[in-house]
Structure 1
Amino acid sequence: MIPDDAVTDRTTTDRTTTYHAVPDSEVPRGAPRLVEANGVQLCVQTFGSPTDPTVLLIGGAGSSMDGWDKGFCARLAAGRRHVVRYDQRDTGRSVNSPAGAPDYTFSALLADAVGLLDVLGVDRAHVVGISMGGGLAQCLAVAHPERVATLTLVSTSPAGPTESELPPPSDGLRAAFADPAPEPDWSDRAAVIAYMVEGERLFAGSAPFDEDAVRESSGRVFDRTTDIEAALKNHWALADDEEPVTVRLSDVAAPTLVLHGTEDPLFPLDHARALAGGIPDARLVALDGVGHQPPPARVWDTAILALLHHTDRK
């Protein structure tokens, strides 16, 4: 078992790969910084050495880089990975458009990811996408296969057609979508944080909901986000692309890992099974009791070791 206050480092022998705990303080990390990628300003932060293989983390709808916990990034970096997390448009400190009226489409978010790799001087990355970011990651693997060393899909669904009908969201989540909570006063920090916490609660699994931790992270997101209303609205309001990327799972050539909670209320586990069954040689790792969320700390031993093994290739 890896201690909660440690990260993992790797030692390779002729036959096996093992991982050893090292202090989090030994993992180098850069400060969040603005870069120009794909013609817009994006905020990016890196962990680890740029000489190590790059892992690009793509967040879900309305999620800034903060959706990828710093401890999670540090543990990956200690496994000799160069970890990149970033604010997508309208989140965090990246470029903004008016709340409710995004001036870009899904394809621009895809081009942003490619542009960010260009700015960082990364030819090929191990791409990890969650939820909407998992859709972006699938499109990236199909449209730009030369840029994707491996693919990891977290809490997401096929971005193209499947052979079987997939189950809908849970009854509770559908009821919440049909009767959404009233919007807060977007200038009221406490009200917005409470709104965000209750939103996260809807997507949790059966494990105890860590309200204090979610409240703390929501406060951090509020404090570093240029326009929190735009951040929580605009990705859901994207117009359709005129020429969307067509994703057929059988066309995904990158080695693929699927990480998915067994209690995901938005995309039940059959969505993950469809991904693993449709992408050639994909591997599914189910995270027990996890909902629609980034892997929580209690399953990092499973998720991070799976990611390190999966990305242990060029």
Structure 2
Amino acid sequence: MPGMLTGEEKFVRSGQVRLWTERFGRPDDPTVLLVMGTSTQGIGWPDELVGALVNSGRQVIRFDHRDTGRSDSVDFTTHPYALADMAADTAAVLDGYGVPAAHIVGSSLGAAIGQWLAVHHAVRVRTLTALASSPMGNNPGPAWARAMAGQPAAADELPPPTARFFNHVMDSVKAPRTTVQQRMDAAVQTWRVLNGDVLPFDEPAARLFVEHCYARADNLAAASNHDLAGRRWDDDRRASLSRITAATLVLHGSDDPLFPQAHGEALAEQIPAAQLEIVPGMGHHPFFSPGLTERIAGSIIRHTT
């Protein structure tokens, strides 16, 4: 959170888009590039995790995706983008620091971006860590539609989110969001649901994070464009993950409400020699559950050594 760790901030360009970035550690150390998930600012990677990685002898870079935080917003109607464009942004961050290749650590959508780079620009990826993710070529739409209609998933589909998650989505549509406080309360509740129902949820930490995001965002509404980008299914997303040559660690929670455990298992099965680490009780976003940040940091450090 703010005030705990100080990094070097700068903006880099990816085509016409200006991206906010922050670097920690020594430039001569191996680089870990942290890639956040859908609609989430780069500060979603907590200072505690960044500090642990720096102390282990790594340079760490985190950044705001386009349409989040202090990075530029895009008019999606006139300039729609897809996963490939967000992967190009990610490579541009490395270019901005003169880093030819990095250990890519992605969460959720960020892990799909990592998969895309590992398939299509393997030279940029030293290792890949995929946290709380699913195969980038898996289109969850049909399974979601069946679940929303009360129908079971098809035999060849990965499972849809949990009933509690779906109920939260439906309740969120009806919840009042006319004030900033109401919108922040709704965001905290979403993080609570994503935490899962097994491990404790640190609500004060989540609320502080949400407040910080609101304070630093140039255009909060633009983050919803990530959902639109995520629904674009181009051939480059359907490329076989068997082409990945980078050593890969798949970190997945046993109680992920958005991508149930089978998603992590499927991802590990499709990537040659991938390691699968199932974290008991972990939900979709581990960083508001006490003790999990240290565990995730330890797994990343071991994998990138």
The TM-score with structure 1 as length reference comes to 0.83
Within 5 Å, give how 1:62-211 maps onto structure 2: 62-98=39-75, 103-160=80-137, 165-182=157-174, 185=177, 188-205=179-196, 206-211=198-203
Structure 1 residues without counterparts, runs of 5 or longer: 1-23
Q: Contact (CA 8 Å) 1:258, 1:284: kept in 2 or not?
A: yes
Cα-to-partner distance string for 1:263-302 (whole Å, 9 max, x where unaligned): 1011111111112222111111122211110444412343
Q: 1:219 aligns with which of 191, 195, 211?
A: 211
Instruction: Say which SS state the counterpart of residue 32 (structure 1) adopts.
Output: strand
**Corresponding residue of 1:309:** 302
Cα-to-partner distance string for 1:31-72 (whole Å, 9 max, x where unaligned): 432222333210001111111111111110000011101111
Instruction: Say which SS state the counterpart of residue 291 (structure 2) adopts.
Output: helix
Structure 2 residues without counterparts, runs of 5 or longer: 140-154
Instruction: Give 1:222 shift.
Output: 0.4
Change beyond 3 A, Cα 1:99–1:182 = farther
Instruction: Give 1:185 shift.
Output: 4.6
Mapped to 2, the partners of 1:82 and 1:164 lie a distance apart of: 41
Aligned length: 285
Q: Contact (CA 8 Å) 2:25, 2:59: kept in 1 or not?
A: yes
1:268 aligns to 2:245 (yes or no) = no
Q: Percent identity?
A: 36
**Corresponding residue of 1:40:** 17
- What is the identity, as a one-letter code, of the residue corresponding to 1:195? A
Q: 1:255 aligns with which of 247, 250, 266?
A: 247
Change beyond 3 A, Cα 1:97–1:273 = same
**More displaced, 110-119 or 169-178?**
169-178
- What is the identity, as a one-letter code, of the residue corresponding to 2:186? Y
- What is the identity, as a one-letter code, of the residue corresponding to 1:276? A
Q: Contact (CA 8 Å) 2:286, 2:292: kept in 1 or not?
A: no
- What is the identity, as a one-letter code, of the residue corresponding to 1:122? V
Instruction: Give 1:215 shift.
Output: 0.7
Q: Contact (CA 8 Å) 1:264, 1:292: kept in 2 or not?
A: yes
Instruction: Say which SS state the counterpart of residue 244 (structure 1) adopts.
Output: helix
**More displaced, 34-43 or 284-293?**
34-43
Q: Contact (CA 8 Å) 1:46, 1:84: kept in 2 or not?
A: yes
Q: Contact (CA 8 Å) 1:43, 1:94: kept in 2 or not?
A: yes
Mapped to 1, the partners of 2:75 and 2:55 lie a distance apart of: 39
Q: 1:288 aligns with which of 259, 264, 280?
A: 280
Within 5 Å, give how 1:54-69 maps onto structure 2: 54-69=31-46
Aligned alpha-carbon RMSD (Å): 2.4
More helix by share: 2
Q: Contact (CA 8 Å) 1:57, 1:84: kept in 2 or not?
A: yes
Cα-to-partner distance string for 1:69-124 (whole Å, 9 max, x where unaligned): 11111111111011110000010000012588864332211110111111110011
Instruction: Give 1:247 shift.
Output: 2.9
Mapped to 1, the partners of 2:79 and 2:200 lie a distance apart of: 35
Mapped to 2, the partners of 1:260 and 1:243 lie a distance apart of: 26
Mapped to 2, the partners of 1:185 and 1:277 lie a distance apart of: 42
- What is the identity, as a one-letter code, of the residue corresponding to 2:183? V
Instruction: Give 1:176 shift.
Output: 2.9
Instruction: Give 1:161 shift.
Output: 5.5
**Corresponding residue of 2:291:** 298
Mapped to 2, the partners of 1:160 and 1:103 lie a distance apart of: 19
- What is the identity, as a one-letter code, of the residue corresponding to 1:32? E
Mapped to 2, the partners of 1:51 and 1:271 lie a distance apart of: 36
The TM-score with structure 2 as length reference comes to 0.86
Change beyond 3 A, Cα 1:211–1:250 = same
Change beyond 3 A, Cα 1:240–1:180 = same
Mapped to 1, the partners of 2:103 and 2:177 lie a distance apart of: 39
**More displaced, 196-205 or 87-96?**
196-205
